[in-house]
Homo-oligomer: A and B are copies of this chain.
Amino acid sequence: MDDSTATYAQSGVDTDGEERGMQKLGAWVTKSFGLRPDLGRPVLPLGHYANVIALGDTLGLALSTDGVGTKIFIAEMMDRYDTIGIDCVAMNVNDLICIGAEPLAMLDYVAVQVPHERLLDELGKGLYRACELAHITVPGGEVAQVREMIKGTRDGWSFDLVGAAVGIVDLNRIITGKACKPGDVMIGIASTGIHSNGYTLARKVFFDQAGLDVHSHVPELGRRLGDELLEPTGIYVREAVSMLQSGLPVAGLVHVTSDGMTNLLRLEAEVGFDIECMPEPQPIFGLLQDKGGITAAEMHEVFNMGVGFCVVADAASESEILEHARADGKEAWVLGHVVRGPREVHLRSAGLVGRGNHFETV
């Protein structure tokens, strides 16, 4: 590979190695499923955005956990901590809604070097704002003071922030994607920027290669780089819950995280996804690609490229889905349609095809 290009693997996140370790851990975790054959029985295999455990004949509890990753470093560099809680909630509730659940609550875990009052106050402020947006509560949490375990970019102020969210779903209405069928429409809802994924690569490109820092004013962005990189992850709860509660024929829901649009392949159906047209991505993506000399394939593999969430539904409901998708003020577009298998994502505008979690040039 060309030395002048940055790849996600080179920048320190070994996605294939993670895959192998995950399989080992996943085997133990899956074995545990059998320990609760009745009350508490896990309903889905690993690999979905969330799992569901049975609390009754029809009541399912959806569960998901996620952290914010190295977006936290941007908060440290900016010495501003009042938005990163939004990212934490977003990453968790956006996963929960993908299986058709209504989020109810999230627990937070904060590991700090030093429990500065301002740090914890600002983290709480972001969590609360996200609770309003996602219509959930934070019923409890944990602050662990583990200075020797945490590091970052601002000594004394480094931290980790992780959430674990729960929601409810009717066991007969869990969405796994298996209802997706050729002809279904794919609708995308706008992201707010790079959300909470790909920061290892983004930091390498902007800070190491391009020599910028968070305080650099970037004309293409119209603001400081750090303000752009700290833009909170979009929360798609209102849109998804309103579609589901309206009884629309939603077949698949996809939170576009790391692996980009190949996340569509997490839907269970033996179908392909033909993306005829992607919206113009925000300027941050073009800037990243230019400064890093990153291929289109890798850009689409690592970043959301402007689309934070996807809805797959019967084409007859296209206009209603679009209406719900736009009801909270976000932009939404028809991206394309479901086609017969094989299980591939065709990104026509970019000349790419995605299999597994990789994109290749056609």
Contact = CB atoms under 8 A, between A and B. Distances in A.
Contact of A151 (B59, B116, B150): B150
Interface string A128-171: 10011001111111111111111110000010101010101000
A39 B103 CA distance: 11
A186 to B, nearest CB: 26
Nearest to A116: B21
A164 B128 contact: no
Contacts of A108: 29, 65
Listed residue (A13, A24, A46, A110) with the most chain B CB atoms within 10 angstroms of its CB: A24
Contacts of A72: 149
Contact of A142 (B66, B137, B138, B146): B66
Contacts of A160: 111, 146, 149-150, 160
Interface string A100-139: 0000110111111011110111011101100110011111
A73 interface: yes
A65 B138 CA distance: 12
Q: Which of A63, A109, A158 has the most CB of B within 10 A?
A: A63
A42 interface: yes
A226 interface: no
A63 B140 contact: yes
A64 interface: yes
B128 A28 contact: yes
26 contacts: A17-B115, A21-B120, A21-B143, A22-B115, A24-B121, A25-B121, A25-B124, A28-B124, A28-B128, A29-B108, A29-B138, A33-B137, A35-B132, A35-B136, A36-B136, A42-B105, A52-B139, A53-B105, A63-B139, A65-B141, A65-B164, A69-B146, A70-B148, A73-B148, A149-B150, A150-B160
A242 to B, nearest CB: 16
Nearest to A13: B145
A166 B63 contact: yes
A83 to B, nearest CB: 13
A137 B107 contact: no
A3 interface: no
A21 to B, nearest CB: 4
Given A18-B145, A109-B109, A115-B21, A127 B28 contact: yes
A185 B317 CA distance: 64
A256 interface: no
Interface of A is mostly: mixed
A362 interface: no
Given A61-B61, A144-B67, A117 B20 contact: yes
A21 B122 CA distance: 10
A40 interface: yes
A291 B166 CA distance: 45
Given A29-B108, A39-B168, A109-B164, 13 more contacts: A14-B115, A21-B112, A21-B121, A24-B117, A25-B121, A28-B121, A28-B128, A35-B132, A53-B166, A61-B166, A64-B140, A65-B108, A70-B149
A55 interface: yes
Closest 3 CB pairs of A and B: A28-B124, A164-B164, A40-B104
Given A29-B138, A124-B27, A137-B33, A158 B164 contact: no
